[in-house]
Amino acid sequence: MSSTARSGRSARVGPLAAKPDRTPVLAVDALLDDPGTHIIVCCGSGGVGKTTTSAALALRAAERGRKVVVLTIDPARRLAQAMGIEALDNVPRPVPGVHERGTGSLDAMMLDMKRTFDEVVESQATPEKAAQILANPFYQALSSSFAGTQEYMAMEKLGQLHRDALRTGRWDLIVVDTPPSRSALDFLDAPERLSSFLDGRFIRLMLAPAKGPARLMTAGFGVVTNALTKILGAHVLRDMQTFVAAFDTLFGGFRARAQKTFELLQAPGTAFLVVAAPEPDALREAAYFVERLNADRMPLAGLVVNRASRVPVGSMSGDQAMAAAERLAGRTDPDGSSTITAGLLRLHAERTRIVARESRLRQRFAAAHPAVPTAVMPALSTDVHDLDGLRLVGELLAS
């Protein structure tokens, strides 16, 4: 990745650039245009606009000449409609209406957790073994609801897309919208957590009858099995043992791919963007993201502060506006103009104070992380519901 994209230094300052003077500005277009950027991962806590940001960046990159696929995680229906696709699914589909420049193109898809897990099984096992695993009730529960499965499968799908891109040349940029997790970077931990579960003592115990010699069937094992039978029922225990015995042949592949995906995320061609809202909790979470990414040696491109309040028009400060509103409050005009003006002045004062508070929060973040380039995205008056809305988001992020 170029030094310009990595440092994010730019002479341009966005319309809401109330950041400290020394805060580097995130050069979004330099990041998108850099042919060395192959993967952009948008991460952040839930509800901060990661999915819209991911889609807007993907659209802008495509219209600037990149061949892009964007992987979204459970987008709102309006976003699928905004991209001109009635229903996103686990297959990348072209987005109509993209104004390509040169070879630019945009495909979009939504992660189907269960289908991705099924694809892994089908690709790693013989048809007979795959059918046995897919039909097993314990596998069906694991692939649909096990904690961390969505995060693991997001990374699994990223690995699949990357391999397809290298093999076919269909894409030169993958944009990933990470799952909304309670813990900041669950998607980084999920591969190890899932593989640890599959390699855990309990799973090894379940495998003992299928793999070990008769001497393993000790009195102690019999006591454990009897206890599990009472708790789970004989049928459930049999399903678990059957699943584990069948799945054990795939276990090495899971761990190997998890390691490859982790290395891919650390590679120079990957760029992480932390997305946050201008609120104390969201920026605290963003600070944790930055620290964790640095600790894991993940390439951090910068911070996007979404839905920032616009600076009110005019030079009057919040205190001045409030003082003027108080002076007008006691007046009684036949047409009510004083009351209306006082209300507008109070609104101006409140907006000014909100902008000042958000600026202080960003300054506090910048003081703790002075090397993180930042882009500030102003709040829009309406939801994004079409490609023009996504284009506007991209333009504002890049300005």
Strand stretches in 4-49, DSSP E: 39-43
Q: What are the φ and ψ backbone dihedral angles of 314, each rounded to 5 degrees?
A: 110, 160
pLDDT of residue 180: 67
* H or E element, residue 372: none
pLDDT of residue 319: 60
Q: What is the model's pTM?
A: 0.77
Of 273, 301, 50, the closest CA to residue 181 belongs to 50
List beta partners, residue 106. 68
CA of residue 58 relative to chain centroid, distance: 13
Of 301, 280, 281, the closest CA to residue 290 belongs to 301
* H or E element, residue 69: strand 67-72
Q: Which two tokens stand for residue 154?
A: 């997001």
pLDDT of residue 249: 62
Q: State which residues of the chain have pLDDT below 70.
A: 1-22, 74-79, 86, 145-148, 180-187, 190-253, 311-348, 350
User: Coil, strand, or helix at residue 246?
Assistant: helix
pLDDT of residue 305: 95
Distance CA 190, CA 203 (A): 18
Distance CA 269, CA 40 (A): 9
List beta partners, residue 304. 275, 375
Distance CA 176, CA 160 (A): 13
pLDDT of residue 104: 92
From edge to edge, which strands make up the β-sheet containing 173-177? 93-94, 105-110, 67-72, 173-177, 39-43, 270-276, 300-308, 374-378
Distance CA 233, CA 124 (A): 30
The answer to whether the CB of 372 falls within 8 A of the CB of 37 is no
Of 369, 198, 353, the closest CA to residue 274 belongs to 369
Q: Which two tokens stand for residue 204?
A: 């090894």
**Who contacts 365 (Cβ-Cβ below 8 Å, separation ≥6)?**
283, 286, 287, 303, 372
The three-state (H, E, C) secondary structure of 255-288, written as one string: HHHHHHHHHHHHCCCEEEEEEECCCHHHHHHHHH
Of 224, 366, 49, the closest CA to residue 57 belongs to 49
Domains in the chain: ranges and CATH: 3-314+352-398 (3.40.50.300)
DSSP-derived pairing of the beta strands 105-110 and 374-378: unpaired
Q: Exposure of 116 by Cβ count < 10 A (0-12 exposed, 13-18 middle, 19+ buried)?
A: buried
pLDDT in tens, 289-327: 999 899 989 999 999 999 988 766 566 665 665 666 566
The answer to whether the CB of 45 falls within 8 A of the CB of 285 is yes
Rounded to 10 degrees, the C-alpha dihedral 306/67/261/276 comes to 0
Q: Taking each helix axis as running N to C, give the angle between helix 318-329 and helix 337-368, from 0 to 180 degrees, rounded to the nearest 10.
A: 160
User: Coil, strand, or helix at residue 378?
Assistant: strand
Distance CA 51, CA 74 (A): 9
Q: Which two tokens stand for residue 187?
A: 């998607």
pLDDT of residue 257: 76
